[in-house]
């Protein structure tokens, strides 16, 4: 009997969108920077088959897709959803475990980013009842998840881009990018909530 797979799309910006799936996909996180890295991971293979998909990040039950081109997420998202469902319907692991270590430099970066989060980022966001979790560093891309007052906050994007990203670029300039894999729609206690106008 077919099982119901629910997928919630949360566009981050014009090029990135998170898809929160009702089933776990991977314990831990893995980033796929190109189709070449997708071999052995049916989910990534399916997603790279969607036109414009440039990068895939799988973390727990969340898939963060980066695409090229102007097509709106609202349109591309349906193809992404179908690709995720196909991969899950095939049975078996959808994503192979990440290689033992992406690289020595990622390990080093992880430690430095973790130190920065511990020493500066989290003390700062704690003032607004928030916290930021470092999920992983792969190919110099930092994957993070926001929680507490940051999750679902109307100003989360400002905090991420003007605060966290700036700090990372200043203190760990080798960081090539940041991906926020937070399920902001599930945030039950955001620091600020948007109003109509």
Partner 1 sequence: MGARARLLLLLPSTTYRAAAFVEAARRLDVDLTVASDQDSAFSAREPERLATFDFAHRDTAAEEAAAFAAAHPVAAVVGVDDDTAILAAAMAERLGLPHNPVAATLAARNKLEQRRALAAAGVPVPAFAVHALDEGPLAVARAAPYPCVVKPLCLSASRGVIRADGPEAFVAAHGVLAEILGSPDAARRGEDSRRYLVESFVPGPEFALEGLLEAGRLRVLALFDKPDPLDGPTFEETIYLTPSRLDRTAQRALEACAARAAAAVGLVSGPVHVELRFNDAGPWLIELGARPIGGRCSAVLRFGEGAAAISLEELLLRHALGLPVPAVERETAAAGVMMIPVPGAGVLRAVRGVEAARAVPGVEDVAITAHPGQRLVPLPRGDRYPGFIFARGGEPAGVEAALRRAHACLRFDLAPQGD
- Chain contacts with partner 1 (rule: CB under 8 A): 6-9, 11-14, 69-70, 72-75, 77-78, 120, 124-125, 127-128, 130, 152, 154-159, 161-164, 166-167, 185-190, 192-197
Helices and strands (H and E) in the chain: how many: 6, 8
**With contact defined as beta carbons under 8 Å apart, do 132 and 122 qualify?**
yes
Residue with Cβ nearer partner 1 (30 or 184): 184
Min separation Cβ 102 and partner 1, Å? 26
Q: How far is the CB of 112 from partner 1 (least distance, A)?
A: 17
Nearer to partner 1 (CB atom), residue 111 or residue 158: 158
Euclidean distance between CA atoms 149 and 130, whole angstroms: 4
DSSP class of 6:
-
Q: How far is the CB of 57 from partner 1 (least distance, A)?
A: 18
**Does residue 20 contact residue 35 with C-beta atoms inside 8 Å?**
no
- Could you give the angle at the alpha carbon of 110 between the alpha carbons of 159 and 166, nearest 5°? 30
Q: Which is nearer to partner 1, 24 or 72 (CB)?
A: 72
Tokens of 75: 């349109």
User: 128 near 150, Cβ under 8 Å?
Assistant: yes
* Minimum distance of partner 1 from residue 52's CB (angstroms): 11
When the beta carbons of 45 and 132 are compared against partner 1, the nearer one is 132
Least CB distance to partner 1 at residue 181 (A):
15
Q: Which is nearer to partner 1, 85 or 112 (CB)?
A: 85
Identify any residues that bridge with 137 across adjacent strands, giving them in sequence order: 142
């Amino acid at each position: 009997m077919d099982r119901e797979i629910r997928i919630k799309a949360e566009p981050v910006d014009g090029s990135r969108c998170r898809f929160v799936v009702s089933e776990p996909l991977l314990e831990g996180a893995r980033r796929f920077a190109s189709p070449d890295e997708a071999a052995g991971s049916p989910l990534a293979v399916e997603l790279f088959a969607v036109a414009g998909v440039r990068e895939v990040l799988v973390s727990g039950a969340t898939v963060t897709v980066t695409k090229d081109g102007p097509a709106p997420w609202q349109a591309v998202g349906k193809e992404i959803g179908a690709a995720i469902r196909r991969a899950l319907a095939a049975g078996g692991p959808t994503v192979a475990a990440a290689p033992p270590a992406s690289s020595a430099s990622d390990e080093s970066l992880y430690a430095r980013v973790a130190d920065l989060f511990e020493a500066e980022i989290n003390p700062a966001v704690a003032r607004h009842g928030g916290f930021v979790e470092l999920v992983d560093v792969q190919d110099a891309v930092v994957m993070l998840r926001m929680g507490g007052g940051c999750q679902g906050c109307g100003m989360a994007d400002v905090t991420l881009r003007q605060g966290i990203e700036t700090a990372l670029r200043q203190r760990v300039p080798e960081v090539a990018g940041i991906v926020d894999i937070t399920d902001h729609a599930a945030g039950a206690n955001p620091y600020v909530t948007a109003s109509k106008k």
